[in-house]
Each structure stands twice: as structure tokens, then as C-alpha cells.
Amino acid sequence: MAQSSTAAGREANLLERSAELAALAEQLEAVTSRAGGRLAFVAGEAGVGKTALVRRFAATLPATVQLMSGACDALVTPRPLAPFLDVAALTGGELEELALARTGAKPHEFAAGLMRELRQRAPSVIVLEDLHWADAATLDVLRIVARRVESVDSLIIATFRDDELDRMHPLRMLLDGLAGAGAVTRIKLAALSEAAVAQLAEPYGVDATELYRLTSGNAFYVTEVLAGGTHAVPATVQDAVLARTARLSSAGRTLVEAASIVPAAAELWLLAKMCPEAVGNIDECVASGVLSAQADGVAFRHELARMAVEASLPLNRKSALHSAAMSALADPPQGDRDPARLAHHAEGAGDTRSVLAYASEAGARASALGAHREAAAQYARAIRAGKHASPETLAGLFQRRAHACYLCGQFNEALDAQLAALDHYRTLDDRRRAGDSLWSLSRLYRYVGRPAESLETAQEAITILEQLPAGAELAMAYCNLSHIYVNADDVEDARVWGHRALELAQKLGHLEAQVYAEINLAVVDYLTTGSPGTAAELERIQRVAQENGLDEHAGRVLVALTWWSPRFKSYELADRYYEEGLEFSNDRGLDLWRHYMLAYRARCELDRGRWDEATRLAEMVIRDPLSPVPRIVALVVLGLVRARRGDPGFWPPLDEAAELAAPSNELQRREPVATARAEALWLEGREGAIPDATAPTFEIALHRRANWVIGEMACWRLRAGISEPPPDPVPEPYALELEGRRREASEAWLRLGCPYEAAISLAWSTEEADLRQALSEFQRLGARPAAAIVSRRLRRQGVRGLPRGPRATTLRNRANLTEREMEILELVANGHTNAQIAERVFLSTKTVDHHVSAILSKLGVKTRGQAAAQIR
Amino acid sequence: MPRYVVERTFPEGLHIPVNVDGAQVCLAVVGRNTDEGVTWVHTYVSDDKRKTFCVYDAPNPEAIRKTASRNSLPVDTITQVSVLDPYFYR
């Protein structure tokens, strides 16, 4: 179809976008010169001209560059992988198979297919439009591709409305996760200036000042007004759109109205079926610029225009159009019918029977693609429409919704659905499924932090299922109970139920239950023996789980390996599994596991004195309230960093953590909070409150014989003046401090890699040399309140002439060294070689070489000796 | 948004020229602040120019530290403050 003169004129008038076009061209230049792929986000409010910019850029592409594009759906519940469906339709082959869920591909598998396709088609530009509407699977794919984009010769341009992203929007989280990535750029489009609006208005004789005042320079609004041809400026953008459609012929308006109920593009065959009498007027609508021609149909030039027309339709007309669209889409001329689109139109038509059928089907398809959030929404839609469906149907829908919600971390919604499913199974007297629901319910109570109900439903599930012939449900229910005891540090009970689960699982040949039971038993072994062999056993289980598609359990193993490293101060273990665990949970969309990895990593970084990194990771967890355990850990990290730096506002996070931990007796929740509060009280000069703040948790730890926790709490209580030797031996650094061997305790902490803890053990010494060492270490770390406490102690002992400021911090800020660079510079100053440093900080020698060169250049010196002199 | 006073020490004194270059320096600082939602309200400088007291609006202390590091500015203390108006009780 020929471009209309209006459209061509509009293209010529792309004002104030040369900088943005140049930025895109620069990214493309990197791609075509084989410097690696790039990802560019184009952000701006609705109607600011994102699509116009991208289209203009696409029009300038050399013929050697392949262009592919796709858009996200404005459906109430978007179709999984919507923008990639368009891309896959273009490429065909393997990618199309993957996208259509015929193979049940998960996002990471689709991403791998996409990367293969991009390598074959290099160089290429992919445009993904309207990511603020993206479904979860699309975002998962984009997250995976973004991290590896440098390995393909492709420029990916993704547009979104930044004013529609609140802090909780999944796209916002993706963007934050990509902050600082070298291959990712962001281009923000501003509204047009008053001068640009005046330039556009000039040929039309419209009052430019009034036009700018009403439109605030929104490019879509401005062009709509000018194309409407009225001299007065319509008061709203809707009025401007309708003024424009009012100038079409009656058949043209009919066609535009039909197209308005189809989000994104409407296929020509679809419009021909919906309004056969008007489809001949399509050229008129395109020529007037209201609709634009797409690959196989037409679309509104802008979503705002579609919504304006749709909103102007009388209700009965709208539902008749939806009904016509539904019948047409139920029997497409080619390809499979799309249940998500059908459910959307069934809802618009008010046809509940069809909504039930199509939404159930769409939910199943979304689940198969790993788009759990969309699956959950489709099942909810089916349930709303299924009030008069049979109890069996409803029970199944609730059960599937509960599982989808669980997988995408919507635990409270999952809980409601699971309770409803249980209710229905009880009414139907289906005791096997009721028992199955009960242990799933127990798991959900565990994640939302309701331990009493979790234990109660776990036991009830077993009671019911043990009355029936033993099946997989019972094996899973045993696993669940064993898991509850693992979390409670209740070693004996965890073993009893773990072995019972394992036996039954092996007898039934049920792999999932077997893997789950083995994980629980291995974690318990580690809790009691601290044996490094357990890590090897867990690695084996992880491989089995991953090879058999048991993603949830494979992820759980990686979490377990990270989870205990702060408790046992075995940071090497965390370093070994963190990257892999984070990547695995990202790729599989396992948000909860991702939170665990981030939170415990934050704690490891805090313990090792890397506070900036610790808060950065903690903030990523805190922003998204998913589940109490990782949130508690992250809040504690944030509170402790503030308290240690002497920054304001450390009690609110510590108070929230205490509130979250209160309903549970689990040490994994209580211990971080209790010790953090003890430390904060000390830093505030209120040691007297430490015994009361630690007593309940100390008692639980004694009861559970959790020796690391006992040692830590006993030390804080001793520092507050309470001497009570623990009944069992505690780990080395605590045992040494409890015996008053502070210098040795401090050295033990340094060997473990915990500089702040090392200084703390010396802070209660009476030896001047110990206190001076504690002081300089606190100053180096920027721990002002602790340094002040130690300074006062030294002055009370008559010591004069203490260094006042944290020299290291001043230097770092002057030279703009990062925390990591500062750490390495100190090791250089202590005479370590790069190879030795690499071993100490768990980096490759090559990376350390890079850091050292960066340090030398930032300090403006030539040798390591000169650099070292700067911090002496 | 909470308000903070940030104290900084400049051992060699703070010297921003009163010309185009100085304006550039200040605008660059403001630009980097916006990434973290930090607003620099104004600053009191001691007569010897070695100590500054900067008033900031910021979402949290971490945002202030992050921008300080990006702007190569030292941080001694961060104190959360509120305005006490002498005529408040009238």
C-alpha cells in the first residue's frame, strides 16, 4: 500500500530527534563493526513519538541489515511471548515452533533459539514495541538475551512508556537489573518544545501557544489536532482523535470502529468477516492516516487513538463486534486459533461459557511456555466466568491457578486459590486431591511466614493420605514436613521424615519426591557436620534435578549452597555457586530463589566489608515484597550498613525485620535480626538492652544446639556483661573470644575474611595495641560510631594524639576508587603479588591485573610502590 | 522525601571558580544526582572553605553516598533533619 501524503509529510517533520537518532546510529555502528551486540531502550510517555523515532531509524537501515519487529499486546492478559511471535512468524523454522508452544519450550530455551537465529541472520535490528505491556515470558527472554547480547551481531531496540512503570512493575525490575551493563543504553524521549510545536502548527494556522498549552508538546496529540483540521484546539486527545475520524465516510467509520476492538493489529481477513460491507474502505482509512498498513492487516497509528475510538462505541455495538471477532478467530483461515485472543473477545461479548473454555485453554498454553503470571490471570478469568461450572471443573481451575501463582511468587493469591481448591475437593470427597492440596497449602503458609498453620496443614495432609493406598502425594507430603523441620533446625525430625519420604519415593519410582527428600537430608547433614562432602552430594542432586526438568528443586539446591555460607562463614562456597544460582533462577523465572540468592549474597558482602555492594543487592530484594525470609535478611543488611556507617534511619528496617521474624521460631529468621539489633544497641551506647533483645533467640538456638548461632549470641551477651559458657563447644572465633583470647579471635575472623568482626573482637580489649588496631580498622571501613566508641576507650586510658579521620575513605573519594579497588590497593600496600591477591579476593589473576592498572591510573602513579605510599 | 544535612571535609579547601567552568561543575553534579533521585538544595561553606554543610532531599542515605562517590565528593556524616520555623508556634 502506498504511503499517504499526510503520513509522508509527518515523517519529514520528525523534529528535535536528531540526538536520539544519532544515539541509535552509534549503537548500530558498534554492531556492524562487529564490536558486539547492543540493547537500546527507548523510553517516554504515551504519544511522545517512540514508534515514530524507531520507524524513522529503521527506514535508514542499510540493505545488509535484517529488520525484525514485534509488539506487546494491550490485551487485559497479554499473550505469552507476544512480540516474539511476530519475530518468529518472520523467521519461521525452529523459532516459530518454540514460540507456538508446540514443543513446550521454557523462556530460556526460547532465548537460546532466538540467539541461534540472530547469529545466522547477523547483522540485524530487532524492534520490540510497548514493553510496558510485556508478559512475564517475554521479559524473561529479554533478560536472558540482554545479558548475552554482546555475543550476537544484533541491535535490539525496545520501547516502553516510562510513566506507566511503578516501582513494582516487572519491567522496572528488569531495567534495574541491567543497570550498568555496558551493552545496554537508555534513550529518553522528551516532549516537543514550544518552538517545535509552533513550527508544526505554522502551516495550519492554529494558535501555537494554545496548542502547546493543551498538548504539553505530546507529539501524538499535536499531530492529531493538526490532522483534525479544526482551527480550535480540541480539549482532550480523545476529542482530537474523534474529530479526525468524523471526517471519514460512514463505511470508513464503521471499519475504524471494528478495528478499534482488536488490540494491536487487526488482520484484513478478520475485518472482512466482522464488517464485510465496509472492508472495501480500507484505503480511505489508511490514506487519511487514521489506520496504518501492517504486514498482514491494519493498526491504529497509535494505541491512544484506538482506545479513544473504542471508548466512544455504544455498549451493544461493542459487544456485537466482540462477538463477531470471536466467531471469526475461532476458525482462522490458517494456523492455530489463539485462545488468549478468543478469551479477550469472549469477555468483551459477555459470553461466559466461551470465556470459561478459552481462558482455561489459554492458561494451559501460558503455563507450558513458563508464563506463570499470565497463566494465573487466565485461570482467574476462567474462574470468574465459571460460577455455574461443575465442582470438578472449578476445583481443577483453582488448583491450576494456585500452582501458577505459586510459581510466579504471588503467594497470597495462591493461598486463596489453594483454599478454594481444597474446599471443592472436600465437597467432592476426593480425599487424595484434598491431601495433595493440604501439603501445597502448608508450603504456601511456609513462604508467607505463617509457621503454625504450615505445620498443622502438613500433618493433616499426612493423616488423610496415610489412610489411602500410598502414592506420590504422600511422598511429597513427607518431603514437605521434613522441609519444615529443616527450616526449624530440628535435625532429628527432619531426618525421620526425610528418610520416610525417600523410602516411599524409591518404592514408587517417583523422581521428584526422591530429589526433594535427598535435598532435605543433605542440608541436614551439613547443618550438623559442616562436612564439605555434602556440597558434592548436593551438586550431584542438582545435576539430576536439572537434567530431569525439576527446575524448582535444582534451584533449591543452589539456594541451599548459598544459604548456609553466611551462617557458617564459608564464603568460598557462596562465591562458587552464587553466579550460577542467580543465572539459573533468572533464566527459569524462579523469582523467589533469585531473592534468596541476592539476599544471602548481600549478607556475604556485608560480612566481608563490601558495604556498597551489600546495600545494592539488599535494595533489589527489599523493593519487591515476595517472601519474608529473604526480605528479613536484606532488611538486616540495610539496617546494619546504616548503623555501622552512622547513617540515619537504621531502626526502621531492623524493626520491620523483627516484625516479620516474630511469628516464627525458625533461626533462619530470628538469628539475623537478634544479632543485628544487639549490634545496633551497642553502637547507640545501649548495651544494657542487649540481654533482653537476644534472650528468646538464644534460647531457641540452645534448644536446637545450633552452635554457630549460640556462639554469636553468647559473644554479644558477654560483651553486654553476661557470662554464661555455652553447654556445647562453639566454633573457633567465638570460642576464643568467650575465653578472652581476643587477639586470636580477631586473627581467626581475618582468616575467614570478616574484617569488621575482627575489629569487633578487639574492641573490648584493655590492651592499647588491640584498641589502636580496632580503631584503624573501623576507620578504614568507614565505621564511624564503632571508631568513636574505641577512641573514647583509648582516651579514657590516657592515650592522646589519635588519628581523627578515616584516611582511607578520603583517599578513595579523592581518587574515585571503587570499594573493590580500595580492597586490592590495601593488599598491594601489604606487599602481596597479584596472584596472591587473586586468591584472597576470589578473582582471576587477570582481573586483578586490570584492577591494579585502573588503580595506578586513577591515582596518577606509575608503580605499585607509589600507589602503596598513598595509603600509608 | 526526607531531608538531610551532609557534612564534608576538604583538607585542601573547596575551590569552584565563579565562571562558566564552575557552573559546568555544579550542573554536572546536579545531573548525576538525578539518577538516584537526589536533589541538592544548597550548601553552607565555612570561611576557610575546608568544611561544607550541604542540604539534600534524597530517598535514603544510600542514594546520597552513591552520588557522592560518583561526584568524587567526601562524606563525613549524614544527618536526617526537619525544619524548625521560629514562627511555627505563633
- pLDDT tens-digit series, residues A57-95: 998 888 889 898 888 877 777 788 888 888 888 888 888
Answer yes or no: do B65 and A612 touch at CB < 8 A.
yes
A257: closest CA among A209, A300, A207?
Answer: A300
Q: Three-state DSSP class for A205?
A: coil
Contact yes or no for A633/A564 (Cβ under 8 A):
no
End-to-end CA distance of chain A: 74
- pLDDT in the model for residue A388: 85
- pLDDT in the model for residue A598: 93
**Average pLDDT of chain A to the nearest whole number:** 88
- pLDDT in the model for residue A267: 92
Contact yes or no for A637/A606 (Cβ under 8 A):
yes
β-pairing, A124-129 with A66-71? parallel
Contact yes or no for A837/A847 (Cβ under 8 A):
no
Of 3.30.572.10, 3.40.50.2000, 1.10.287.110, 3.30.70.3090, the CATH number of B3-81 is 3.30.70.3090
What secondary structure does DSSP assign to A122-161, as a single string? Answer: -SEEEEEE-GGG--HHHHHHHHHHHHTGGGSSEEEEEEE-
pLDDT, one tens digit per residue, over A355-412 is 999 999 999 999 888 788 899 999 999 999 998 899 999 999 999 999 999 988 889 9
What domains can you pick out in chain A, each with its CATH number? 17-189 (3.40.50.300), 688-730 (no CATH), 732-805 (no CATH), 810-871 (1.10.10.10)
Q: What's CA A619's distance to the chain center, in Å?
A: 12
Contact yes or no for A439/A477 (Cβ under 8 A):
yes
Determine the average pLDDT of the residues in A713-738.
Answer: 92
Cell of A157: 531496540
Determine the average pLDDT of the residues in A793-816.
Answer: 66
- pLDDT in the model for residue A97: 82
Phi-psi region of A710 (alpha: psi -120 to 50; beta: other; left: phi over 0): alpha
Answer yes or no: do B69 and A805 touch at CB < 8 A.
no
- pLDDT in the model for residue A325: 96
Contact yes or no for A183/A626 (Cβ under 8 A):
no
Cell of A507: 518404592
Answer yes or no: do A813 and B61 touch at CB < 8 A.
no
pLDDT above 70 covers a percentage of chain A that reads 95
Contact of B82 with chain A, judged by CB distance below 8 Å, is answered with: no
pLDDT greater at residue A818 or residue A362? A362
Contact of B68 with chain A, judged by CB distance below 8 Å, is answered with: yes
Task: Count Cβ atoms below 10 Å from residue A351 Cβ, excluding itself.
Answer: 18
Helices (H), A299-350: 303-311, 315-330, 339-349
Contact of B38 with chain A, judged by CB distance below 8 Å, is answered with: no
A709: closest CA among A767, A763, A669?
Answer: A669
The closest CB to that of B77, out of A646, A814, A816, belongs to: A646
Q: Three-state DSSP class for B5?
A: strand
β-pairing, A154-160 with A124-129? parallel
What secondary structure does DSSP assign to A422-480, as a single string? Answer: HHHHHHTT-HHHHHHHHHHHHHHHHHHT-HHHHHHHHHHHHHHHHTS---HHHHHHHHH
Length of chain A: 872
- How far, in Å, CA of A229 to CA of A238, rounded? 15
DSSP run (H or E) holding A185: strand A184-188
Determine the average pLDDT of the residues in A473-478.
Answer: 97
Name which of A784, A813, A821 to mutate to probe chain B: the one with the most chain B Cβ atoms within 10 A of its Cβ: A813
Angle between helices A611-622 and A819-829 (to 10 degrees): 160
- Which amino acid would we find at residue A697? T
pLDDT at A2 over 50: no
pLDDT class for B76, splitting at 50, 70, 90?
very high
Contact of A805 with chain B, judged by CB distance below 8 Å, is answered with: yes
Chain A hits for B78, CB-CB cut-off 8 Å, are 646-648
- pLDDT in the model for residue A804: 64
> Mind telling me how many Å the CA of A410 is from chain B's nearest CA?
27
Exposure class string for B22-51: b at 16+ Cβ within 10 A, else e: eeeeeeebeebbeebebebeeeebeeeeeb
Contact yes or no for A426/A396 (Cβ under 8 A):
no
Q: Three-state DSSP class for A67?
A: strand
With CA atoms as reference, the chain B residue closest to A806 would be B76
β-pairing, A184-188 with A38-43? parallel
pLDDT, one tens digit per residue, over A434-459 is 999 999 999 999 988 888 999 999 99
End-to-end CA distance of chain B: 26
pLDDT class for A805, splitting at 50, 70, 90?
low
What are the sequence ranges of the domains in chain B?
3-81
DSSP A299: E
Determine the average pLDDT of the residues in A478-495.
Answer: 94
Q: How many CA atoms lie within 13 A of A831 on its CB side?
A: 0
Answer yes or no: do B66 and A648 touch at CB < 8 A.
no
Dihedral sign, CA of A110, A113, A119, A124? negative
Cα–Cα–Cα angle for A679, A771, A799, nearest 5°? 125
Predicted ipTM beyond 0.95: no
Answer yes or no: do A619 and B77 touch at CB < 8 A.
no
pLDDT class for A675, splitting at 50, 70, 90?
very high
